[in-house]
């Protein structure tokens, strides 16, 4: 046996031992795995071997590392590793047609009478509502006139400076003058689309993709071409290149960091490769980075903007997933499209709420935002882990679920005979809101998928509702 074979054998020995404990039920979801020291003594291998084996188990979705705490057992569900292809032919641009389904899902997502699995944000229970209220009051009393007056694009200079400083945390060079404040990420994305493309143009998107993006493309009379996307590493760059070779794609719209609903995240070198590929072809990237700050790893992922030497990336984000969606404060760093974006913003929406901009700037500059984000990331990681566990407990055999690196949503593949519209309607009858998978594509390829938000506290009512949903899904087989 060579040295490296011996090493592999030792890793396997540790992994097999941990898997055995999990199978026997001695280690349950949420339990802490034995410490490196303890296991190294017990199995007679080095601490480095146990550590490497734990990292491998983490890659396989069996364990999760928590900083300064150790490794914990994940819920036992298969990670989505291969989304089966469907009747849709990838690479064909399509008109998006949702009819009334979009409105119906939207109407129910935020209905307080329903179990709240239909949105995609952390709930206000996890937000610093009191301290943000204090900051808002303080701004109004100190600057009453400025708070009520117009604050024209590009927006409040103090807020733009704060946002620019946050980009430095990921080694991304952005100046305050590069930033334009918008009404949420929605406006940043929609104006970006209009800035780089026109009616009839083809936009490449991830598959599956955030349904509101498809809705925007539909409303603007553009066409969507859905590019294969790996559930772990994001957009398939070969498929993207092939699409570039066969059709005239005007822009790519994607979420390199924690996509919604899939929960993929491009490794850093893949983000760089994506930006380089687009730069070679002179095609803009509209980056949706709303979950960029809600990550579960120790280090923040970098936005694709970080690698943008040619200024072709329009990077869009907001405070909706991290602070207060109701404030409707987002932004874009639009690169070479800055001036055109600014003109469109002025023409179509004039200013963004002054009170909201000033309050958030005040909150950020107080240092409270960073402390809040640390707590929010820990909370969302636990929420999502618990959600995976609850799904594993109550959904039928054959269910597969994502293992996202951030955010708050899970992408759930049900057995193939389940229809997400059917499940959506039956769940509504039981006062449960979910998002049917069919909305995340212009084709019907995600007919048997659901998106479930785990951003609300797992109180008894929500745990019970998810259990009920599992029963509904179990009942769809053959029915």
Residues that bind ligand PLP (CB under 6 A): 120, 184-186, 210, 255, 260, 288, 290, 318, 320, 325, 330
Least distance from ligand PLP to the Cβ atom of residue 54, Å:
31
Nearest to ligand PLP of 11, 411 (CB atom): 411
Least distance from ligand PLP to the Cβ atom of residue 240, Å:
19
179 to 155, 168, 421: CA distances (angstroms): 8, 14, 40
> For residue 436, which of 6, 18, 106 has the smallest C-alpha distance?
106
Q: Are 306 and 266 in contact (CB under 8 A)?
A: no
Least distance from ligand PLP to the Cβ atom of residue 280, Å:
27
Note the residue count of the chain. Answer: 479
Burial grade of 383 (CB within 10 A; 0-12, 13-18, 19 or more): buried
Nearest to ligand PLP of 260, 462 (CB atom): 260
Q: Is the peptide bond before 246 cis (omega within 30 degrees of 0)?
A: no
Least distance from ligand PLP to the Cβ atom of residue 325, Å:
5
Least distance from ligand PLP to the Cβ atom of residue 389, Å:
23
Least distance from ligand PLP to the Cβ atom of residue 90, Å:
21
Alpha-carbon distance 90 to 84, whole Å? 12
DSSP alpha helix (H) spans, 34-154: 36-43, 47-59, 101-109, 129-142, 144-148
Nearest to ligand PLP of 211, 395 (CB atom): 211
Nearest to ligand PLP of 40, 186 (CB atom): 186
For every residue of 223-291, DSSP letters joined together read EEEEEEEETTTEE-HHHHHHHHHHS-EEEEEE-SSS-TTT-----HHHHHHHHHHHHHHT--EEEE-TT
For every residue of 331-354, DSSP letters joined together read EEE-GGGHHHHHHHHHHHH----H
Alpha-carbon distance 316 to 181, whole Å? 10
Report which DSSP code applies to 444. S
Least distance from ligand PLP to the Cβ atom of residue 252, Å:
15
Nearest residue relative to ligand PLP (C-beta): 184
Nearest to ligand PLP of 10, 302 (CB atom): 302
Alpha-carbon distance 320 to 5, whole Å? 49
Alpha-carbon distance 115 to 105, whole Å? 13
Least distance from ligand PLP to the Cβ atom of residue 260, Å:
4
């Amino acid at each position: 046996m060579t040295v490296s074979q011996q090493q592999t054998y030792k890793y396997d020995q540790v992994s097999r031992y941990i898997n055995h404990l999990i199978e026997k039920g001695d280690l349950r979801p949420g339990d802490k795995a034995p410490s490196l020291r303890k296991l190294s003594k017990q199995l007679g291998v080095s601490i480095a071997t146990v550590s490497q084996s734990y990292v491998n188990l983490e890659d396989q979705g069996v364990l999760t590392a928590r900083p300064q705490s150790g490794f914990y057992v994940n819920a036992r569900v298969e990670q989505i590793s291969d989304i089966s292809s469907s009747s849709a032919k990838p690479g064909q641009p399509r008109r998006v047609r949702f009819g009334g389904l979009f409105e119906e899902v939207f109407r129910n997502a935020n209905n307080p009478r329903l179990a709240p699995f239909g949105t995609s944000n952390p709930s206000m229970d996890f937000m610093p509502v009191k301290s943000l209220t204090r900051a808002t009051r303080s701004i109004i009393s100190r600057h009453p006139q400025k708070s009520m007056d117009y604050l024209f694009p590009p927006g409040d200079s103090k807020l733009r400076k704060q946002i620019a400083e946050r980009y430095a945390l990921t080694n991304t060079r952005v100046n305050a003058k590069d930033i334009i404040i918008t009404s949420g990420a929605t406006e940043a994305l929609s104006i970006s689309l209009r800035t780089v493309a026109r009616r009839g143009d083809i936009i490449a998107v991830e598959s599956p993709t955030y349904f509101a993006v498809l809705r925007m493309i539909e409303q603007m009379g553009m066409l969507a071409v859905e590019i294969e996307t790996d559930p772990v590493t994001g957009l398939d760059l070969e498929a993207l290149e092939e699409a570039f070779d066969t059709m005239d794609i005007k822009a790519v719209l994607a979420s390199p960091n924690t996509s919604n609903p899939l929960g993929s995240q491009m490794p850093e070198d893949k983000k760089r490769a994506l930006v380089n590929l687009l730069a070679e072809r002179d095609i803009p990237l509209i980056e949706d980075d709303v979950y960029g700050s809600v990550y579960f790893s120790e280090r923040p992922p970098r936005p694709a903007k970080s690698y943008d030497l040619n200024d072709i990336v329009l990077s869009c984000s907001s405070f909706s997933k991290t602070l207060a969606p109701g404030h409707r404060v987002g932004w874009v760093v639009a690169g070479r499209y800055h001036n055109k974006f600014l003109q469109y913003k002025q023409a179509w929406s004039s200013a963004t709420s002054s009170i909201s901009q000033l309050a958030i700037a005040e909150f950020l500059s107080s240092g409270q935002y960073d402390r809040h984000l640390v707590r929010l990331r820990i909370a969302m990681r636990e929420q999502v882990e618990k959600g995976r566990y609850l799904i594993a407990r109550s959904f039928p055999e054959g269910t597969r679920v994502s293992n996202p690196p951030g955010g708050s949503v899970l992408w759930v593949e049900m057995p193939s005979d389940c229809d997400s519209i059917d499940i959506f309607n039956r769940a509504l009858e039981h006062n449960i809101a979910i998002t049917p998978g069919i909305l995340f594509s212009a084709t019907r390829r995600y007919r048997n998928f659901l998106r479930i938000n785990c951003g609300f506290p797992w109180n008894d009512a929500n745990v019970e509702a998810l259990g009920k949903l599992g029963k509904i899904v179990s009942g769809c087989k053959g029915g």
